[in-house]
Amino acid sequence: MLKKSAKTDNTEKNRETREWKEAGKDIRKWDHPLHNLKRLNLSYPQSLIKVSDLGEAINLECIILEGCIKLKQIHSSIGLVRKLTTLNLKDCTSLITIFQ
């Protein structure tokens, strides 16, 4: 019984926290519903140049983009994410545009 509970807890945790580290993928084509997403970790990919539309990710609380040295643009839809409390842009040295 305890093992089953632990598995249920892991499933719930996975639903609440998604880490998306494949920079070449378009998050809008992801198989999981974006409205459930609370945490997005895109840190340290070498090829991430822009963050796409996040308008459907209305429950996002944390976005980690640390170390995305080639990141140049973040889509303006980030301004629609009202629950966002953390935006980590550490070492995003190429960032030119945010909210465009």
Give the separation between CA 21 and CA 63, rounded to whole angstroms: 12
Whether this model's pTM surpasses 0.85: no
Of the listed ranges 9-13, 47-51, 61-65, 71-75, the least confidently predicted one is 9-13
pLDDT in tens, 68-92: 999 999 999 999 999 999 999 999 9
pLDDT in tens, 32-53: 678 888 999 989 888 889 888 8
Instruction: Determine the pLDDT at residue 21.
Output: 42
Helix (H) or strand (E) holding 15: helix 2-16
Give the separation between CA 57 and CA 36, rounded to whole angstroms: 7
Strand order, beta sheet including 39-41: 17-18, 39-41, 62-64, 86-88
